[in-house]
Amino acid sequence: MDKKQEAFLRELLADFKMEAGEHQQAIIHGLLELEKKPPLIQYTELIETTFREVHSLKGAARAVNLLDIERLCQSVESVFHQLKQGSLQLTSVSFDILYSAMDTLTVMLSESGENIKSISPGILAKLIKEVETMRQTSGMPSKMEFPLPPLVAELKNTDNKKPEDAEIAAVIPNDFPKGAVSELKTAKDTVRVSTAKLDSLLRQAEEFISVKATMAYFINELELNHQNNHHNLFKELDLFYGAMSRMIDDLLHDIRTTLLHPFSSLLSVVPKIVRDLGQEFHKEIKTTINGGEIEIDGRILEEMKDPLIHLIRNCVDHGIETPMERRERGKPDSGSVNISVKLDSGKNVELLIEDDGAGIDTSKVIAAAIKSGFLSSDSAAGMTDKEVFQLILKSGISTSPFITDISGRGLGLAIVAEKIAKLGGNIEVDSTPGKGTRFKIGLPVTLATFKGILVRLGAQFFIIPTNSVEKAIRIRQPEIISVESKQMILLNNESVALVRLGDVLGVPVRKARKNDEPPIPGLIISMSGKRIAFMVDEILDEQEGLVKELGAPLIHVKNIAGVTILGSGMVVPILHIGELMDEAIHAATRLEVMDSAGQEEKVQLSQQVILIAEDSITSRSLLRNILESAGYMVKTAVDGFEAFQFLQKEAVDLVVSDVEMPRMNGFELTARIREHVEMAEIPVILVTALDTADDRKKGMEAGANAYIIKSDFEQSNLVETVHRLI
């Protein structure tokens, strides 16, 4: 095969993957709508539309010789053929099998053209057989169930204990209007262009921004230094600059428009994710999505995939209660996750993710923040609810009562906040106890260029993104007040913290000013409900620039988001507002805590006692070494029975236990501790090789605070978990 043919086949396969993804998403949408048991007319239309999507996907797979995908599609197509004829009725198990087919198809599509195959011929054959079995049960009434096939459980990696006939509905107005799916693949006024080519074209066009800045610089120089000469040249340059600016702006606008994608391309996966999570956590959840037609830079959508999944999982796992808990609180059995998108003044997009769950317990958040060392008790006393809610976005803060290797460590929402800040956006949290939680996310419509305020600190220059600057101010020395040894100013009768930007960045600043000196220039910067006034030496002007990321070895420099090039050719750092705000807010707090309680904390740590219950000598020695190295006093027991006897005689601060032990296992030991009045509050960490969902559930039901898997064991995980619990 020659190189041209190989290149053609690669291009053909890339086109197939894009088309197949569209077909598959339409099929999943059809299944979700059918699962709601719509009226007969709508039901018939959905069967027909989904049938055609499966048929088209099968034909596309055959065209590129992906025979395994064709076989799987053929089996699913046969199901919809019977549904169309009315000889088959769908049950909840039927939907499980069809969703498993779609999950399997996702893996097969991602690996098509690669040398790896996660789906073996045996697994595929079993899945197709399950589909055939479903077709042969056409006479079954819709309410009759048969046991969940082992293959489906294997593919979904969940147990079979699910609420019968759980109605997990998905309502998606404005996302997929009638006929939208067919228009997506047949419209003649569209063309597919690789994003790599568009990105390259955009980068080339954006380079003209520096040309525009250079022209502005030279015009300014001519105006300042040659007032009486070259009047004609100045006018010509000015006209040229105006024309060139319009051309560049128009070119950038048109190119950016080609990179815009509807939010529905990201949000269309949400109903399936919510359905799967609902089954995993045994909860009934409805989903509504509005505003999916609003367009945003495709690069932003790509970066928002992980944050979206984190937030959805947070709503389902930590927010929405179980049906029984909801009934006890006078709520309907089914919870809801609502997502809406709207444009804010045409320049930014507002994404709202809401649930109607239990809401955020502020007392637990504050306790977790104090325990993690992020907050002092004195600082917590004066915090508003809004400020407390923002704490859950900080790394290491979690209100989850149960810690595992993958959740409860306070990392998920911190990653979300970091990713959104990197995109130039912001996130705010609001909650009402007993009624639910809302995440409000602001995102720019497009990436690339930005506007920033150029400031000077001594001989150095920095740029602060304009979208984070509330206003520029001039501060006179008598206006600065001191509150608890911290500098503040009054702005519209509200106290605003005042800091020197140079102090935060470690840049040398001029000596303190006297009362009779000119006012100090400053900027009010706001983010996620926080406002801080930063003093600088000089505010110059607003710059339009192109963000250049820092390369190795400067991949991430604290407080710096990137750099831009001014018209003069000077390279200027762009400040990372999220990190800058955190640094400014907590620098003084950390010093205050260390001065007042640092020594006491060290003394207390040396007195904390941990009991290890482990029958393996090797594992017991390893755990003991780790905890003693971290400064704890460690006692040991060879099994749960000996550990419980020890606890009846001596006090400990925490128990670390294996699960599988003679005489009394870890589950039994934990339950006995919880039953005993004097021991009930002792934190228990289970460190075990048992890694199934059922085992984790048993640990939680027994009363354990954390569950760590030995195969994924890391020393830092254990020490971090211990530190969080005591």
Check which CATH number belongs to the domain holding 482 and give it.
Answer: 2.40.50.180
Q: Which of 586, 617, 633 is the last residue of a domain?
A: 586
pLDDT at 187: 34
Alpha carbon 409 to its chain centroid, in Å, reads: 15
- 432 pairs with which residues across the strands? 436
Across the strands, what pairs with 486?
483
Whether this model's pTM surpasses 0.85: no
* 188 within a domain of the structure (yes/no): no
Do the bridges between strand 481-483 and strand 654-657 make them parallel or antiparallel, or are there none, so unpaired?
unpaired
* Rounded distance between C-alpha atoms, residue 277 and residue 316, angstroms: 7
Please state, in angstroms and rounded to a whole number, the distance separating the CA atoms of residues 359 and 385: 12
**At 499, which helix (H) or strand (E)?**
strand 494-500
Tally Cβ neighbours within 10 Å of residue 312.
22
* Domain contains 408: yes
Beta partners for residue 474, in sequence order: 521
For residues 51 and 156, state if they share a domain.
Answer: yes
Q: Which two tokens stand for residue 379?
A: 């600082």
Beta carbons of 479 and 533 less than 8 angstroms apart: no
Handedness of CA 663, 666, 668, 671 (dihedral sign): positive
At 355 the pLDDT is 93
Question: Please, which residues bridge with residue 538 across strands?
Answer: 456
Residue 326 sits in a domain whose CATH number is 3.30.565.10
Alpha carbon dihedral 109, 113, 116, 117, in 10-degree steps, equals 40
CA distance 234 to 227: 10
Annotate 51-98 with DSSP letters as a single string.
Answer: HHHHHHHHHHHHHTT-HHHHHHHHHHHHHHHHHHHT-----HHHHHHH
Query: Is residue 180 assigned to a domain?
Result: no
Q: Tell me the C-alpha distance between 69 and 120, whole Å.
A: 12
The series of mean pLDDT values per 10 residues for the chain, 726 residues long, is 67 79 88 88 89 86 84 90 85 88 88 80 88 69 35 39 30 31 36 66 75 75 64 73 78 75 84 85 89 86 85 87 91 93 81 92 81 71 80 66 51 74 83 91 77 88 87 85 74 82 78 67 81 90 76 72 80 84 62 39 58 86 84 88 91 90 89 88 86 77 83 67 79
**How far is 152 from 156, CA to CA, in rounded Å?**
6
Same domain assignment for residues 522 and 427: no
pLDDT for position 449: 60
Are residues 527 and 440 part of one domain? no
Task: Find the length of the chain.
Answer: 726
Residue 129 contacts by C-beta under 8 Å, 6 or more apart in sequence?
Answer: none
Q: How far apart are CA 674 and CA 680, in angstroms?
A: 4
Q: Is residue 186 part of a domain?
A: no
On whether residue 5 sits in a domain, the answer given is no
First-to-last alpha carbon distance for the chain, in angstroms, is 66
Query: What is the rounded CA–CA span in Å between residue 638 and residue 657?
Result: 10
651 and 683 belong to one structural domain: yes
Overall domain count for the chain: 5
Residues 574 and 633 in one domain: no
CATH of the domain at 664: 3.40.50.2300
Confidence at residue 440, expressed as pLDDT on a 0 to 100 scale: 92
The SS3 assignment for 361 reads: coil
- Residue 92 has phi, psi (to 5 degrees) of -60, -35
Are both 437 and 320 inside the same structural domain? Answer: yes
- State how far the Cα of 55 lies from the Cα of 26, in Å rounded to an integer: 12
598 falls within a domain: no
Do 29 and 173 touch, CB atoms closer than 8 A? no
**24 plus 93 within the same structural domain:** yes
Residues 272 and 386 in one domain: yes
Q: What pLDDT, on a 0 to 100 scale, did the predictor assign at position 512? A: 54
In three-state secondary structure terms, 333 is coil
Kindly state whether residue 182 falls inside one of the protein's structural domains.
no
In single-letter form, the type of residue at position 368 comes to A
Nearest C-alpha neighbor of 32 from the set 49, 14, 12, 10: 49
Domain end point (choices 229, 260, 291): 260
Establish if 173 belongs to a structural domain: no
Q: Return the pLDDT at 237.
A: 74
Same domain, 239 and 277: no
- The pLDDT value given to residue 662: 85
The DSSP string of 298-332 is HHHHHHTHHHHHHHHHHIIIIISPPHHHHHHTT--
Q: Which pLDDT value is given to residue 331? A: 92
How many Å apart are CA 521 and CA 502, to the nearest integer? 13
Q: Are 660 and 582 within one domain?
A: no
Helix, strand or coil, per DSSP, at residue 441: strand
Which DSSP string do the residues of 5-63 spell out, in sequence order? Answer: HHHHHHHHHHHHHHHHHHHHHHHHHHHHHHHT---HHHHHHHHHHHHHHHHHHHHHHHH
Does one domain contain both 90 and 160?
yes
The DSSP H or E segment spanning 697 is helix 693-702
713: containing domain: 608-725
pLDDT for 455 equals 92
CATH of residue 85: 1.20.120.160
- Closest of 250, 256, 271 to residue 33, by C-alpha: 271
Q: Whole-angstrom Cα distance, residue 360 to residue 369?
A: 14
Same domain, 199 and 116: no
